[in-house]
Amino acid sequence: MRADQILHPTPQGLYCPPGDFHIDPTRPVARALITHGHADHARAGHGSVLATQQTLDIMAIRYGEDFAGQVQPADGPIRIGDVTVSFHPAGHILGSAQIAVTPDHGPKIVVSGDYSRTPSPTCAPFEPVPCDVFVTEATFGLPVFKHPDPAVEMARLLASMTEFPERPHLIGAYSLGKAQRVIALARAAGIDAPIAIHGAMQRLCDYHIEQGIDLGPLIPATADQVPAQLVIAPQSAFSTAWVQRFRDPVIGFASGWMAVRARARQNGVELPLVISDHVDWPQVTQTIRDLFPAEVWITHGTEDGLLRWCELNGFPARPLRLVGYEDEPE
């Protein structure tokens, strides 16, 4: 059985005929396997969903308990039709997983979803899974993207808070994953004071705490006077009246895209923090070298640069063009 007979793109997403399921489908399907809880990968309305327990919990928080007809937590290898599937940590956000698809006869394919090789205090680290075909993202698939150590970026935040103690620091971060990571990194950097969070992040922060992740004292950023110098909020909140309650704030944003200074300037970001939950160029190329797959499929980002790198380094590769994975910020 050829690799494209095991997995191939369809209008609904990546489909596995011998297992009759989709991975991270963009439209409702009968059977969905989900890599992680971000909305461009995890949608409601499927007949059944197989994912890690943490991803199922996150989907229930975001979409309601009845987000799918049936749910099943991934626990060890599972037989589906004529293939065996298994879930392995991706290092992206809490509950994120790579999905390995192993047929009885044919190449083993690993769909990495979104992944990171930088250790995070909020999720299990990436687990290299030997395979014949590796499906990789290329969100930052250009040599220009080399993310700094997150601790260095947090030191820049602390330096700004020390220099401007009278100014609240409003840091934009995506509500699922990035916000909790920034909070945990701030704690590791020595910030012990209460951190204020936007209401959109409250339930997801509570769930991380329930899962044993220490975020320290958190307070709501809802009062007219917020007694905290550090405030974490989704980027969407910065274009609403909510931000007007803060006097002369330092506006920051935590994202791998903050490496593009023009993007930071366009969004009025005074303190760009280059903190990413995705592999950068050195990490994605090193991952391919580590796994040494017979073939690389590239999706979700800048394909051409990585295709060229694979060609020069002897890895057969092709773009796997999937639609619907651009809805959420990094």
Query: In the predicted model, what is the mean pLDDT of the chain?
Result: 94
Q: What pLDDT score does 327 carry?
A: 46
Q: Minimal CA–CA distance to 290: which of 157, 112, 166?
A: 112
> Is the model's pLDDT at 244 over the cut of 90?
no
Q: Classify residue 4 by burial, with Cβ atoms within 10 Å: 0-12, 13-18, 19+.
A: middle
Please name the residues in contact with 12: beta carbons below 8 A apart, sequence gap of 6 or more: 22, 25, 26, 27, 29
Q: What tens digit of pLDDT does each residue of 252-279 get?
A: 999 999 999 888 888 789 999 999 999 9
Query: Is the Cβ–Cβ distance between 98 and 112 less than 8 Å?
Result: yes
pLDDT tens per residue, range 188-219: 999 999 999 999 999 999 999 999 999 999 99
Which domains does the chain possess? 3-144+278-319 (3.60.15.10), 150-273 (3.40.50)
Q: How confident is the model at residue 328 (pLDDT cuts 50, 70, 90)?
A: low
Instruction: Over range 166-194, report the average pLDDT.
Output: 97
Q: What are phi and psi of 10, to 5 degrees?
A: -135, 170
- Residue-wise pLDDT for 10-31, tens only, equals 999 999 999 999 999 999 999 9
Q: What is the pTM of this model?
A: 0.94
What is the mean predicted confidence (pLDDT) over 31-36? 98
- Could you give the dihedral angle defined by the CA atoms of residues 16, 19, 21 and 23, in that order, rounded to the nearest 10 degrees? -50
pLDDT of residue 88: 98
Residue 329's pLDDT band (boundaries 50, 70, 90)?
A: low
State what percent of residues in the chain have pLDDT above 70.
Answer: 97
What average pLDDT does this structure show over 151-155? 97
Q: Which of 92, 89, 169, 91 lies closest to 100, judged by CA?
A: 89
Q: What is the pLDDT of residues 69-89, one digit of tens each?
A: 999 999 999 999 999 999 999
Residue 48: CB atoms within 10 Å = 15
Each residue's pLDDT tens digit, 85-128: 999 999 999 999 999 999 999 999 999 999 999 999 999 999 99
**Residues of the chain by 3-state class (helix, strand, coil), percent to 5:** 30, 25, 45
Residue-level pLDDT at 326:
53
